[in-house]
């Protein structure tokens, strides 16, 4: 029997975040669907509500300190103390190093690292008070290095170090922190990469699947399943880990 908790999923208007929000709801939790544009979160919220769950659309830029503070306060007031946090919001600004602008670098760092830091700092106040919490951070196989992604790979490797430190600091309060490092997942993010490379998304996915041991690309549900495990009551002794969800070994 699952205890109902309040979860916040960032970048949840679409893609992996939307599927994670739906999964945490079907696991029995109330879910704040947070993204840049509040209106864009509404269809995910409506879907959850139609299935009998509780959800709230919250508009906030995770890299904005004031917006994060206000968003987490609102979730606490409207849904209850948030004790599950999934730092999923992300962007890519790919380019080879000689063409990468400072703004490409800074914006990627701002959403992934600054965003995860601000969200975790705010939510841990509730988690430590409740003496229970789960933080799940989205890393990537790109953390191991990926051509054209100096900014993104550094941010995603940073997410792993950040996760391990959160695990060390917050464990005594009943809070675990873990990371998931997805491989190729079919979302608008990978569709945008295909478009930039001038290939159709179907061709891009077929070529990617050939290189993956299980011979298919990932779906958002593959990541939601891993989040569900980390967020579960039974995973309280699993902390500071990085789970590669990539259809084969990566690290």
Nearest to ligand NAP of 191, 238 (CB atom): 191
Residue 20 touches ligand NAP, criterion: CB under 6 A: no
87 within 8 A of 20, measured Cβ to Cβ: no
Q: Which residue has the tokens 């939790």?
A: 29
Residue 158 touches ligand NAP, criterion: CB under 6 A: no
244 is a catalytic site residue: no
Per-residue mark of binding to ligand NAP, 96-115 (x: CB under 6 A): ---------------x---x
Closest by CA to 64, choosing from 108, 114, 122, 136, is 114
Residue 13 touches ligand NAP, criterion: CB under 6 A: yes
Q: What is the CA radius of gyration of the chain?
A: 17
Q: Which residue has the tokens 């879907």?
A: 47
- The arrangement of strands across the sheet holding 175-182 comes to 55-59, 30-35, 6-10, 82-87, 133-138, 175-182, 242-245
N-to-C CA span, the chain: 34
Q: Which of residues 214-243 bind ligand NAP (CB under 6 A)?
A: none
Among 31, 185, 208, 227, binds ligand NAP (CB under 6 A): 185
Whole-number Å distance between alpha carbons of 18 and 34: 9
CB of 165 to ligand NAP, least distance (A): 19
Residue 24 touches ligand NAP, criterion: CB under 6 A: no
Q: Find the catalytic residue in 126, 152, 230, 244.
A: 152
Residues in the chain: 251
Residue 88 touches ligand NAP, criterion: CB under 6 A: yes
- Positions that interact with ligand NAP (CB under 6 A): 10-11, 13-17, 35-37, 61-63, 88-91, 111, 115, 138, 140, 182, 184-185, 187-190
């Amino acid at each position: 029997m699952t205890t109902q908790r309040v979860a916040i999923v960032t970048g949840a208007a679409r893609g992996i975040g939307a599927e994670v929000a739906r999964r945490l709801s079907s696991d029995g939790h109330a879910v704040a669907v947070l993204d840049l544009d509040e209106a864009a979160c509404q269809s995910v919220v409506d879907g959850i509500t139609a299935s009998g769950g509780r959800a709230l659309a919250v508009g906030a830029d995770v890299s904005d300190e004031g917006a994060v503070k206000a968003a987490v306060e609102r979730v606490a007031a409207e849904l209850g103390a948030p004790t599950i946090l999934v730092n999923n919001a992300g962007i890519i600004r790919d380019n080879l190093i000689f063409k990468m602008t400072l703004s490409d670098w800074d914006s990627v760092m701002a959403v992934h690292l600054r965003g995860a830091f601000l969200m975790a700092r705010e939510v841990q106040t509730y988690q430590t008070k409740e003496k229970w919490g789960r933080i799940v951070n989205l890393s990537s196989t790109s953390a191991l290095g990926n051509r054209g992604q100096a900014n993104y790979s550094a941010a995603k490797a940073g997410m792993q170090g950040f996760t391990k430190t959160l695990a060390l600091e917050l464990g005594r309060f009943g809070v675990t922190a873990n990371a998931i490092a997805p491989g190729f997942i079919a979302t608008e993010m990978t569709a945008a990469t295909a478009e930039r490379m001038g290939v159709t998304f179907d061709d891009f996915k077929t070529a990617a699947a050939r290189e993956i041991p299980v011979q298919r690309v990932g779906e958002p549900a593959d990541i939601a399943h891993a989040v569900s495990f980390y967020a579960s009551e039974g995973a309280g002794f699993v902390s500071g880990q990085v789970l590669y969800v990539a259809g084969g070994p990566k690290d």
